[in-house]
Amino acid sequence: MNYVIIGNSTAGVAAIEAIRECDKDGRITVISDEPYANYSRPLISYLLAGLVSADKMPYRTGDFYKDNRVELILSKRADRLDLETREVILQDGKRVPFDRLLIATGGIPIVPEIKGINLNGIFTFTRWIDAERIKKYIEDNGVEKALVVGGGLIGLKATEALMELGIKVTIVELADRILSATFDKKASKIIEDALSQMGCRLITSNTVVEFSGEGQKVEQALLRDEETVPADLVIIAIGVRPNVELPVHTPIKVNRGILVDDLMQTSVKDVYAAGDCCEARDALLNINRPIAIWPNASRQGKIAGYNMAGVRREYRGGFAMNSVELCGIPTISVGTTDPSALPGTGPEGEYEVLDHLDENRAVYKKLVLRDNTIVGAIFINDIDRAGIYTGLISDKVDVSSFRAHLLKEDFGLISLPKEYRKHLVTGEAIEI
């Protein structure tokens, strides 16, 4: 059996492990357009800041591919798919045959069409090579002022890294606040206040309309309101989108991402997709959509690997979840965190919100309920029991019997129904 995996990040590595668990003899080929064997993408901001070294980036040992008898093709882009001959055609024309194929090409950064976007000193920030290029540009050009376009998680981690290097940073965000896709207004404000205290300038409800500079180097950005922001360096961090370039012009069905079933199989038999490039089941919303987070990519890759090897496994779905430290503040967000823009919010509506804000301690806890189950949560500066809440969300537990205790300081395992505690300990199925 010839297994071919395009992409060598979380989903691809998980698929390798699942295939080898079931098939010790099949041939596995992994194709990646990056020069690195594997690495932890969440660490690239720490690499840029000099807080971790290059040898700490891989999350599998150097012998991983040898031990699993994987042929690794690095620094080569998969150019197109020939589904009739069942081959992957590389950029150099080489053809790689497959019996089972996994597309795990991840996401690619969104780059807006702005005048001057191709000037030197303007970067995206999603890969190891991005961190290396930015670091070299800073060293070669004596960067003192940087502009980060986009106030999401990627933009904020880039901001932290730049400030760690002593660079003065301005963030420009189109929305009326940072982290609008992850947090609600109260949570966003805590992080905004922390950023301001660190010396970062925040510009919201605005956007860049032009970059300019002498000698093909960026020097400033013109905003929509005609303000000019000086910048020796720019990082574009307005989001990522599924990388669906390979399936285009093939019978593989694509929406925003590659469409898959619960086996992670695409509309073409023996062709699978996993990770940020695909649309898989959202267990909370009961729809298929891209959820670009590490744990989901790992689970999807594992499920795909099992099914590629002929061992049936079904993906039960995942949900959005981010656990990240921002400005030294531990934060967790899960599921639907801000239903205020959705219909039905309120005591008698579809969604109900429970929250508690301690402004003095900058502690914020919020739960979003629907039909007596938790469908979303935010924890800022108090994440000790977040795992309990995440379990309640994942297991869709009816919380009506202990709802009054959910946000109390002493809430813990003892607050849960006896049968559910037994389920957590034994793993036995339970009617909840």
For residue range 356-380, what is the model confidence (pLDDT) as tens digits?
999 999 999 999 999 999 999 999 9
> What is the structure's pLDDT at 315?
97
Domains of the chain, CATH where assigned: 2-34+59-108+242-308 (3.50.50.60), 122-238 (3.50.50.60), 328-426 (3.30.390.30)
Count how many Cα atoms sit within 13 Å of the Cα of residue 159 in the half-sphere of its side chain. Answer: 31
Model pTM score: 0.93
Which residue(s) pair with 4 in the sheet?
29, 101
The pLDDT value recorded for residue 286 is 87
Query: Is the C-alpha dihedral spanning 276, 281, 284, 286 positive or negative?
Result: positive
pLDDT above 90 for 426: no
308-335: average pLDDT: 96
**What mean pLDDT do residues 164-173 have?**
99
pLDDT classification of 427: cutoffs 50, 70, 90: low
* pLDDT attached to residue 410: 85
Which pLDDT band, with edges at 50, 70 and 90, does 424 fall under? confident
Q: Which of residues 30 and 248 earns the better pLDDT score?
A: 30
Q: For residues 118 and 217, what is the distance between their CA atoms, to the nearest angstrom?
A: 9
The pLDDT confidence band at residue 349, using thresholds 50, 70 and 90, is: low
- The predicted structure's pLDDT at residue 158: 99
CA distance 290 to 278: 6
**Contact, 100 vs 90, CB < 8 A?**
no
Please, which pLDDT band fits residue 432 given cuts at 50, 70 and 90? Answer: very low
What share of the chain in percent tops pLDDT 70?
96
- Residues 6+ away with beta carbon under 8 Å from 337: 182, 183, 184, 187, 366, 368, 376, 377, 378
Averaged pLDDT for residues 228-253 = 97
Q: What pLDDT is recorded for position 342?
A: 59
Task: Report the pLDDT value the prediction gives residue 348, as an integer from 0 to 100.
Answer: 42
pLDDT at res. 428:
57
Cβ–Cβ under 8 Å, residues 432 and 396: yes
Q: How confident is the model at residue 416 (pLDDT cuts 50, 70, 90)?
A: confident
- Token duo for residue 270: 């023996």
User: What residues pair up with 315 in beta bridges, in sequence order?
Assistant: none
| Residue 262: per-residue pLDDT | 97
- The pLDDT of residue 415 is 82
Range 292-306 average pLDDT: 96
Taking only the tens place, the pLDDT of each residue in 258-275 is: 999 999 999 999 999 999
pLDDT tens-digit series, residues 43-94: 999 999 999 999 999 999 879 999 999 999 999 999 999 999 999 999 999 9
Q: Tens digit of pLDDT for each residue in 217-231? A: 999 999 999 999 999
What's the whole-number average pLDDT of the chain? 94
Q: Give yes or no for a contact between 260 and 250, defined as CB atoms under 8 angstroms apart.
A: no
Residue 341 has a pLDDT of: 58
Check pLDDT > 80 for residue 23.
Answer: yes
Residue 339 has pLDDT above 90, yes or no: no
Could you tell me which residue, 22 or 428, shows the higher pLDDT?
22
Q: Which tens digit of pLDDT belongs to each residue from 170-200?
A: 999 999 999 999 999 999 999 999 999 999 9
- Distance, CA of 109 to CA of 92 (rounded, Å): 25
Specify the length of the chain in residues.
Answer: 432
DSSP string, 177-231: STTTTTS-HHHHHHHHHHHHHTT-EEEES--EEEEE-GGGB--EEEETTS-EEE-
Q: Where residue 418 falls among pLDDT bands split at 50, 70, 90?
A: confident
Average pLDDT over residues 242-255: 96
How far are the Cα atoms of 25, 50, 139, 152 from residue 135, in angstroms, in the given order?
A: 43, 9, 6, 21
